[in-house]
Chain A
């Protein structure tokens, strides 16, 4: 989308980030892409890909918040200034169109 997006994506070591996340609910991957938010502002979309076996009870915010916090803190630490819209989905939900 822009060099700012490319730089933000390059700055994040996804493997290292995933390895520092809590073990439960298990995170398989983190996907980053450029995104124009509802106000037309250049942003970052961060999709935290949850293990397919994750139960709904483990998707309560109290369980996801520590992951969200680490992801946002990491982006900030590596110098990403774009606002990150962080979402949590399973791959099967992404295939069915959970994000545009």
Chain B
């Protein structure tokens, strides 16, 4: 069976394309929210695999670690990496790191998708546009495809750590 994030991005696309002519706002809103959750779960899965391993035997550990992630901490981490400048505590510990352009783009995508998900779920004044919703889904699929090319970079390894621990780390002197 495909991973949860893969199932969710497929579901997001189906919701966006469900109505042949005039797309219903309900379907578009659910599509945006589902697309965000596809990205959210993708990142958590990568982080868990990095930290506790990807073996079948480690599934219980991954499931437990999964519960520790929060949207807010992931937002803070993504905001730092989207800006490209890492705080001193990072450079002091692991040396100078350049945030790879694809990682920067992934961080920007996470912020954008989370903001749009919030609008989709809570802001009833907005009218979603199918072409833009599909653009968000394209962008998330592209991020999944590009990930193998950057996942072993030190900045990516740090990013996966930051998604969980940024609150505890970022402001330390």
Q: Which residues of A are at the interface with B, using a C-beta cutoff of 8 A?
A: 37-39, 41, 56, 59-62, 64-65, 69, 72, 81, 83, 85-89, 93, 96-100
Q: Give 27 pairs: A residue, B residue, CB < 8 Å, sorted on A.
A: A37-B115, A38-B114, A38-B115, A38-B118, A56-B130, A59-B132, A60-B134, A60-B138, A61-B136, A61-B138, A61-B139, A62-B142, A72-B108, A83-B83, A83-B111, A85-B115, A87-B132, A88-B135, A93-B127, A97-B125, A97-B127, A98-B128, A98-B129, A98-B132, A99-B126, A100-B125, A100-B126
- Helix, strand, loop or mixed for chain B's interface? helix
* Given A61-B135, A62-B142, A88-B132, 7 extra CB contacts under 8 A: A59-B134, A60-B138, A61-B136, A65-B142, A85-B112, A87-B132, A98-B126
- In the complex, B54 has a CB within 8 A of chain A: no
For chain B, the count of residues having a C-beta within 8 Å of the partner chain is: 28
A59: chain B residues within 8 A (beta carbon): 131-132, 134-135
Q: Would you call B82 and A83 a contact (CB within 8 A)?
A: yes
* Cα distance, A75 to B115, chains bound together (Å): 20
- In the complex, B171 has a CB within 8 A of chain A: no
Nearest CB on A from B8, distance (A): 18
Q: Which of A60, A69, A98 contacts B135 (CB 8 A)?
A: A60
A72: chain B residues within 8 A (beta carbon): 108
- In the complex, B75 has a CB within 8 A of chain A: yes
- In the complex, B153 has a CB within 8 A of chain A: no
Closest A residue to B111 by beta carbon equals A83
Which of B79, B119, B127, B142 neighbours the largest number of chain A CB atoms within 10 Å of its CB? B127
Q: Which of B75, B118, B135 contacts A64 (CB 8 A)?
A: B135
